Chains A and B, each alone.
Chain A
C-alpha cells in the first residue's frame, strides 16, 4: 500500500517536472481560461444580467474547459516514444499508475484555477472576501471528481486520431453533476446564504467524488493494458 503511494508520487512528480519544463499544457490552459472569462464579460448585457448572476456560471465553465485543455497532455506525453510501456513494464500496480496520473492532473488543473480565480475576481468585480475559503473548498471538491474521469478518459482518447476532440465529447456529460453542484454552491456562497442551503449540493459533490475516483481507479487497468 505504502509502496503504491510512493510509486504514484514518483509518477506524479515526473509529470509535474516534465510539464514545468515544457509548460505547453499549463500555458495554453491558462490563456484559454483568461480568454473565456473576457468573452463572458463582453458577451453579456450589463443592464440585463448582473455580474453576480452570471459569475458562478462563468467561473465554472471557464474551469471546466480549461481543465480539459490541461488534461489532454497527460497521456500524449506517454505516447511519444512509447514511454507508457516503460511504466507498464515496471512492477507498478495499475492503481498506483492511475493515482499518479490523476495527482499530476489535479496539480495542473489546480494551477490553472489558481490563475483563473484572481482574473475572475478582477473581471467580474466580485467581492470574495467572505466567500473565498468556501469557493476554494468547493473548487477542490468538484475538481477531484472530473479530474478522475478526465484522467481515465484521457488514456482512452489518446489512442484515437482526434484525441483533443474525443476527450471533451466523452468527458462533458460527466462534468455536469459536479458543475451544477459547484455553480449552485458558488452562487449561494456569493450571496452569503447559510450553509444549510448548500448541504444537498455538497453531499452530491462528495458522493460523486467517492464513486468516480474509485470507479476510474478500478477501470484503469482495463484501459491501459492490452
Chain B
C-alpha cells in the first residue's frame, strides 16, 4: 500500500497519452530510502514523460503517484515538497547569479534564511567562488552542479534526474557520481533516467528498462554491467 510502506516514491498504473500516442501504458514503480533506480530505454520510450509525471509537472491520464505516503495532488502543493528534480535544462535564470538562483529556490520552498542556505548549497557543490557568476559563464559541468545544488537546497527526500551524465567529461561525471552516492547513503532516494549505463551502473540499486511505454524489465541490480548489456540489447531491439 503506497500510503504506508515506507517508500519515498511509489507509482501505480501510470498512463499518459499525447493525442493518440500512448506514451506510458501502465507503469508501477517504487523507490525507497537509499535506493537508486536507473531507468534506461531507447529514445522515445517515454522516459522523460515518466519523470515529469513523477515530479508532478505532467498529469497522468490514469494512475497515481505517491510521495512519502501521500498522493501527489495538484491542489495540494505541499505534496511536492519532498521532490527534487534535475532536468536536462538548467532551470536557471540567465539574469540572476547562481547564488541568486539558488536563494530564489530556497525562498520558493519557504526556507528560513535563504541566502545562507544557498551559500551552503554552493559550498557543498564546490561552487562557492562562482556564486556571483551568471549561468552563461559556467561550463556544462559547473552548470550541472549548480542545477543540482538548486534541486537539493530544500533537502528533498527524493531526487529525480533526467540524463544527468550527458555532456559531462570523465572528472565531472565522477564528481557527480560521488555526490549522488554520498547522498544515497544518507537516505536520499534516486531515480535516474540515463542513456549512459556505464556512468550510472555503479550507483544503481535497481534497474528498469522502459520500452514502448511499458517496463520490459524491472529488477534489483544483480551482477556487473557486462552481463546486463546483452540482456538490455535483446530487450531493446526485440
Contact = CB atoms under 8 A, between A and B. Distances in A.
Interface residues of A, number: 28
A82 B59 contact: no
B52 A226 contact: yes
Contact of A88 (B57, B89, B150): B57
B85 interface: yes
B57 A226 contact: yes
B108 A90 contact: yes
Interface string B122-151: 000000000000010000000000000010
Contact of A89 (B55, B74, B96): B55
Contact of A225 (B74, B79, B90): B74
Contacts of A134: none
Given A3-B110, A14-B96, A90-B108, A82 B91 contact: yes
A17 B96 contact: yes
A101 to B, nearest CB: 14
Contacts of B55: 89
Interface of B: 52, 55-59, 74, 77-81, 83, 85, 87, 89-96, 100, 104-105, 107-110, 135, 150
Given A89-B55, A226-B52, A81 B74 contact: no
A22 interface: yes
A195 interface: no
Given A14-B104, A90-B105, A91-B81, A85 B96 contact: no
Interface string A15-38: 001110110000000000000000
Given A88-B57, A89-B80, A92-B77, A10 B107 contact: yes
A77 interface: yes
Contact of B93 (A10, A83, A221, A225): A83
Contact of B59 (A6, A90, A225): A225
Among all A-B residue pairs, the 9 with the closest Cβ atoms: A82-B89, A91-B77, A18-B95, A90-B108, A86-B91, A226-B58, A21-B95, A10-B107, A81-B90
A10 B56 CA distance: 22
Contact of A90 (B90, B96, B100, B109): B109
